[in-house]
């Protein structure tokens, strides 16, 4: 089994590369790691790559997704592991400024996955432009068969199931955070949203004010979710990608204990991974508190 440790970067297509670079730097506060005529790689101010952009006719299409495994891991052994699962892969070099070597394969929905072991951080950007997230937190995708792709991510990539909502929405973790990927059942398979972690609730408040100054309207929130319990706000970027900004996501700091770090807002103590009823509310409080999954705006 490949044991993924964290989310790397996600690469999207865009017909207007300059506009997207302006959004990711001026609004979100990422720094440019590499830029060419038809591509750009952006990282957080603390040096972790988060977003890749490639010029193409289609806007907001998730072209690739990367994950890091334990540094020093033998990628040849990981390729052999994939073959045992019937997954074809290939070796690629220089996929980004921070990643010199990776293996690439497709997940069941056809998204190319880049897995790398060693990563070179960018220098810290001490500027104060933009919202400046702590990290690239998670990716949510609409799929025809959540069970099939959940099994693949768990059996092949080493993710653990954090929660299910009914049988239509799974939340998977690869580290302490409640979810790094999640999959919801929809007829059309496509990206649902991407999410960035901010420092705290105060930073969420400041981000809402900052988005308003940039004439970017929220499409959902502020609110506190039920599953995962993160405080979240959502907006759409110029390519119509739904972007979540969140804080206070549930964490499991010790897998042997088997429960989420206790918080005052938990419905049960201790709160353990489980199957939530299909009719579970989308959030405890905030704009959009009523209704059930998967009825996102």
Q: What is the Cα–Cα distance from 59 to 50, expressed in whole angstroms?
A: 18
- % residues pLDDT > 70 (the chain): 97
Domains along the chain with CATH numbers: 6-116 (3.10.180.10), 137-286 (3.10.180.10)
Would you state the pLDDT for residue 287?
76
Q: What is the Cα–Cα distance from 10 to 137, expressed in whole angstroms?
A: 11
Would you state the pLDDT for residue 291?
44
Phi, psi of 227 (to 5 degrees): -70, 120
Q: What is the Cα–Cα distance from 113 to 110, expressed in whole angstroms?
A: 9
pLDDT digits (tens, 9 = 90+) for 210-228: 999 999 999 999 999 999 9
Average pLDDT over the chain, rounded to whole? 95
pLDDT digits (tens, 9 = 90+) for 249-282: 999 999 999 999 999 999 999 999 999 999 898 8
Cα–Cα distances in angstroms (integers) from residue 57 to residues 10, 21, 47, 224, in the given order: 18, 16, 29, 36
Band of pLDDT at residue 295, cut at 50, 70 and 90: very low
Phi, psi of 242 (to 5 degrees): -80, 125
Specify the pairing of strand 283-286 against strand 218-225: antiparallel
Would you state the pLDDT for residue 1?
83
Q: Mean per-residue pLDDT for 38-62? A: 97
Nearest CA among 61, 199, 48 for reference residue 131: 199
Give the pTM. 0.95
- Tell me if 193 sits within 8 A of 244, measured CB to CB: yes
């Amino acid at each position: 089994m490949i044991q993924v440790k964290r989310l790397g970067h996600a690469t999207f297509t865009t017909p207007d590369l300059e506009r997207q670079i302006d959004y990711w730097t001026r609004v979100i506060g990422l720094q440019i790691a590499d830029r060419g005529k038809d591509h750009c790689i952006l990282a957080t101010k603390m040096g972790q790559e988060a977003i890749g952009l490639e010029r193409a006719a289609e806007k907001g299409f998730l072209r690739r997704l990367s994950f890091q495994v334990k540094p020093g891991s033998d990628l040849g052994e990981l390729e052999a592991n994939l073959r045992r699962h019937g997954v074809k892969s290939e070796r690629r070099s220089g996929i980004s400024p921070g990643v010199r070597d990776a293996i690439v394969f497709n997940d069941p929905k056809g998204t190319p996955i880049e897995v790398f072991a060693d990563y070179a951080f960018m220098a810290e950007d001490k500027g104060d432009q933009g919202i400046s997230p702590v990290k690239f937190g998670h990716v949510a995708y609409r799929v025809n068969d959540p069970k099939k792709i959940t099994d693949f991510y768990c059996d092949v990539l080493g993710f653990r199931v954090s929660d299910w909502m009914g049988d239509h929405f799974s939340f998977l973790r690869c580290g302490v955070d409640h979810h790094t990927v999640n999959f919801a059942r929809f007829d059309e398979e496509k990206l649902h949203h991407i999410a960035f972690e901010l420092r705290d609730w105060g930073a969420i408040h400041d981000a809402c004010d900052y988005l308003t100054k940039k004439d970017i309207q929220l499409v959902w929130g502020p609110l506190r979710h039920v599953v995962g319990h993160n405080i979240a706000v959502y907006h759409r970027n110029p390519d119509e990608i739904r972007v979540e900004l969140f804080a206070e996501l549930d964490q499991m700091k010790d897998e042997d204990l088997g429960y989420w770090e206790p918080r005052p807002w938990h419905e049960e103590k201790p709160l353990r991974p489980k199957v939530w009823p299909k009719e579970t509310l989308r959030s405890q409080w905030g704009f959009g508190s009523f209704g059930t999954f998967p009825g996102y705006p």
